[in-house]
Chains A and B, each alone.
Chain A
Amino acid sequence: MAWFDRTGKDSDVVLSSRVRLARNIKDYPFAPMLDETGANEIIEKVRSALDDYSVTDMRTKSHTERRSYVEKHLISPAFVNVSTPHVLLTNEDMTDAVMVCEEDHLRIQSIHAGLALREAYSAACAIDDRIDASVTYAYNEKLGYLTHCPTNLGTGMRASVMIFLPALTQTKVLHSYASQLEKLGLTLRGMYGEGSQAKAYIYQISNSITMGITEEETISKLESVVNQLIASERKTRENMKNDDYDRMCDKVMRAEGLMRSAYMISSGEFLKLFADVKLGVDLGIITDTDDKKLSELLIGAMPATLMLASSREGLSDAERDKLRASYIKGML
């Protein structure tokens, strides 16, 4: 079962936790400057270090297939458009994924459902150790792991949590948290990371500092901030529910009704409905579906994944919206 078909701890607020490590191999230019031979040599080194992982040659995949990996949070949007050889290595349940030859030679990722930063960190370190045993990393005692972009120097680590904050967003409490987060060296952004907007009240919180702080300290800091956000979000949801229970029930049930009976649903509309339905499930208003099903839906209803699952790539927007509506109906 893939990571996104599961739920984890605190799944009413936290969708997933991820740790990503940027690593480069000594004596090779960074990935965008590599020629074909260099890229292939690096791919071979990583493949032999992680010989039990499955290898996906991204160049053999269609655009839709590559987009679907982004929707499943297995690769970055930038990895879709790389022109030199680049591969993705994954373990069986896709909790571990290694992008080879993105902008850094290696982007080691471990992603888990719910709040599971420590699990993600130790899994990422285990992969890091295996590769470290067979290659020599580009590393400098003062600057740490050397990376293509100097903003990643130091630990090369981004730890992030995908978090669902409908109540804190609607009450605008989140605004006041945002500046505090910045002071703590954390950033809040939309669900697909850099440059993307927050849809369905889903955000990504990650560390912005990678130097002068250890990985463990970063994880602890992020974890404690997320725990505070979880508590605050839950309390605000309860307040909203108590303030106007009837209106909230109406909104949530209308969303569920649309999901169950609409003939066409665009991905934008789906995300709006998703947010209301999830809130309804988490507050116990909707009882005939659960967070596990919703987290499956959140990936399954995305354009590329949706088309691939029905082997119908290249559908028009209208056809896709029809397909989405029938997929959602089937799931609920």
Chain B
Amino acid sequence: MLCTECKKNNATVFYQQSINGQSVELALCQECAEKHGILTGDSLFGELFKIPQFSRSAQSTHKSCTLCGSNENNFIKDGKVSCPVCYEIFAEELSAPIKRIHGNVSHIGRAPAKLKKQSDKKRELEELKRKLNEAVEKEEYENAAVIRDRIRDIEASEGGM
């Protein structure tokens, strides 16, 4: 749907106005909505991502992103992050706003196949090491040797990855 005002851009903001008791519906593009003072230009998330000056300590060193070159003043624009590496470089700055959106949780669910294999392996190794200690404590040396060989196999295959 085209903006009812300029009739050029697509309408993205829908607004109901009451004039002399008559309700009028406006469908505006971003630009015209800003002209009407309905939007201020920043997205709602922009506000969520404003990083207060005081959160940066005086001795914090100047950081810039190794991929896109953004610094702490411009790695986020209208609530959107510039590049994947910014998520690592500015992890500290991003942690509070991300918590505000998602709560205090971490990702569960799908993962890239390569990483999934790695983290499965890591988990298996931890489990085997725990079993190895248990076997040694119980003086089950034959069993311990089998577990130790299995650990060696996994570690060797990891080295070749």
Could you list which residues of chain A lie within 8 angstroms of chain B, going by C-beta atoms? 24, 26-30, 32-33, 77, 80-81, 103, 125, 128-129, 132-133, 136-146, 148-151, 153-155, 157, 195-197, 209-216
Contacts and interface: CB of A to CB of B under 8 A. Distances in A.
A197 B108 CA distance: 33
Contact of A213 (B14, B108, B115): B108
B13 interface: yes
Interface in B127-156: none
Interface of B: 10, 12-14, 45, 49, 67-68, 79-84, 87-88, 94, 97-98, 101-103, 105-115, 119
A7 to B, nearest CB: 26
Contacts of B106: 141-144, 211-212
Contacts of A24: 84
B110 A155 contact: yes
A33 B68 contact: yes
Given A33-B83, A142-B106, A212-B102, 6 more contacts: A29-B68, A33-B68, A143-B106, A146-B84, A196-B14, A212-B107
Contacts of A196: 14
A127 to B, nearest CB: 13
A33 B82 contact: yes
B113 A144 contact: no
Given A103-B80, A148-B81, A211-B106, A143 B111 contact: no
Given A137-B112, A151-B101, A153-B102, A26 B107 contact: no
Given A151-B45, A196-B14, A197-B14, A139 B111 contact: yes
Interface pairs A-B: 9 shortest CB-CB: A212-B105, A144-B107, A138-B84, A29-B83, A214-B109, A211-B102, A146-B84, A29-B68, A154-B107
B112 A154 contact: no
A150 B94 contact: yes
A212 B108 contact: yes
A148 B98 CA distance: 13
A195 B13 CA distance: 6
A141 B103 contact: no
Given A132-B112, A136-B114, A149 B107 contact: no
B9 to A, nearest CB: 9
Given A103-B80, A140-B88, A142-B106, A133 B113 contact: yes
B80 A213 contact: no
Contacts of A81: 10
Contacts of B14: 195-197
B109 A140 contact: no
B86 to A, nearest CB: 9
B90 to A, nearest CB: 11
Contact of A154 (B10, B13, B80, B102): B102
A254 B103 CA distance: 51
B112 A139 contact: yes
Contacts of B87: 140, 143, 146
Contact of A215 (B45, B103, B109): B109
Nearest to A267: B1
Contacts of B110: 125, 128, 155, 214-215
14 contacts: A28-B83, A32-B80, A140-B88, A141-B115, A143-B87, A146-B81, A146-B87, A150-B49, A150-B97, A154-B102, A154-B109, A195-B12, A197-B14, A212-B108
Contacts of B119: 141
A46 to B, nearest CB: 15
Given A150-B81, A150-B94, A132 B113 contact: yes
A159 to B, nearest CB: 12
